């Protein structure tokens, strides 16, 4: 799979966050998206996931057959997207049944993230870090080539961050792609960095745009 973003622009609440943003990501490559709060990191991931329409530009994926881009990706956002009344294993089983093409069994995925002991506990009883690991375990239940991760290390302790780095390296080694919006350095030595702030509108762009807020 190869993901190509060409001249993407994004506007939220009347304010243009970025424009002219382009990159190409090939199988086995990782991209870290950086920038201050409100710069547009999460908005870029939402565009890549098909949840937000870009103001301009084009997004294409090569070598995906008849599948659409959303059918080729996993998203882990700020919210863990878990049902508190369900157990950790039941949450992953639901994801498996929804997404199809099961890879690891739910208990095996939880074990990879050090949560085998919590498989039968309702997610509402788990700590923030444990819930985050359950959300990340969805990446392992159903194999999809593109991982979109928004602050993936949030609430994780040092050991869990190292485990996540190992999962990402293994995914890349198998030809997967990773795009992570983060304020923290990830242990991915070969990852390229894309600063959203490098694509902020210039003062001349703002002056020419009657709907843009002052920057």
Burial 20-32 (b: 16+ CB within 10 A, else e): bbebebebebbbb
Going residue by residue through the chain (215 aa), what tens digit of pLDDT does each one get?
999 999 999 999 999 999 999 999 999 999 999 999 999 999 999 999 999 999 999 999 998 887 888 889 999 998 899 999 999 999 999 999 998 767 899 999 999 999 999 999 999 999 999 999 999 999 999 989 999 999 999 999 999 999 999 999 999 999 999 999 999 889 898 899 999 999 998 754 554 454 444 43
Beta strands in the chain (DSSP E): 2-12, 15-26, 30-34, 56-62, 73-76, 146-150, 177-181, 192-195
In a domain? residue 97: yes
Specify the DSSP element, H or E, that contains 176: none
In a domain? residue 54: no
Number of residues that this document lists for the chain:
215
Three-class SS of residue 8? strand
Residue 105's domain comprises: 83-141
In a domain? residue 187: no
In a domain? residue 215: no
Count of structural domains within the chain: 1
In a domain? residue 117: yes
pTM score, whole prediction: 0.91
In a domain? residue 203: no
Q: List residues bridging with 180 in a β-sheet.
A: 32, 149
Q: Where are the alpha helices (DSSP H) in the chain?
A: 41-48, 88-99, 106-112, 128-141, 158-173, 203-208
In a domain? residue 115: yes
In a domain? residue 25: no
């Amino acid at each position: 799979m190869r993901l190509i973003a060409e001249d993407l622009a994004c506007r939220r609440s009347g304010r243009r966050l970025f424009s002219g943003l382009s990159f190409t990501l090939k199988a086995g490559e990782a991209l870290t998206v950086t920038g201050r709060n409100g710069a547009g990191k999460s908005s870029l991931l939402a565009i890549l996931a098909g949840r937000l329409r870009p103001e301009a530009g084009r997004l294409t994926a090569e070598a995906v057959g008849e599948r659409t881009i959303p059918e080729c990706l996993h998203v882990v956002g700020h919210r863990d997207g878990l049902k508190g009344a369900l157990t950790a294993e039941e949450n992953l089983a639901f994801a498996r049944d929804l997404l199809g093409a099961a890879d690891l069994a739910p208990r095996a995925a939880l074990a990879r993230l050090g949560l085998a002991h919590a498989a039968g506990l309702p997610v509402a009883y788990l700590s923030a870090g444990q819930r985050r690991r359950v959300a990340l375990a969805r990446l392992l239940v159903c194999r999809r080539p593109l991982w979109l991760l928004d602050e993936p290390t949030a609430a994780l302790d040092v050991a869990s961050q190292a485990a996540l780095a190992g999962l990402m390296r293994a995914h890349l080694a198998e030809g997967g792609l990773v795009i992570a919006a983060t304020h923290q350095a990830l242990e991915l030595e070969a990852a390229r960095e894309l600063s959203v702030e490098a694509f902020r509108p210039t003062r001349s762009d703002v002056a020419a745009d009657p709907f843009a807020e002052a920057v």
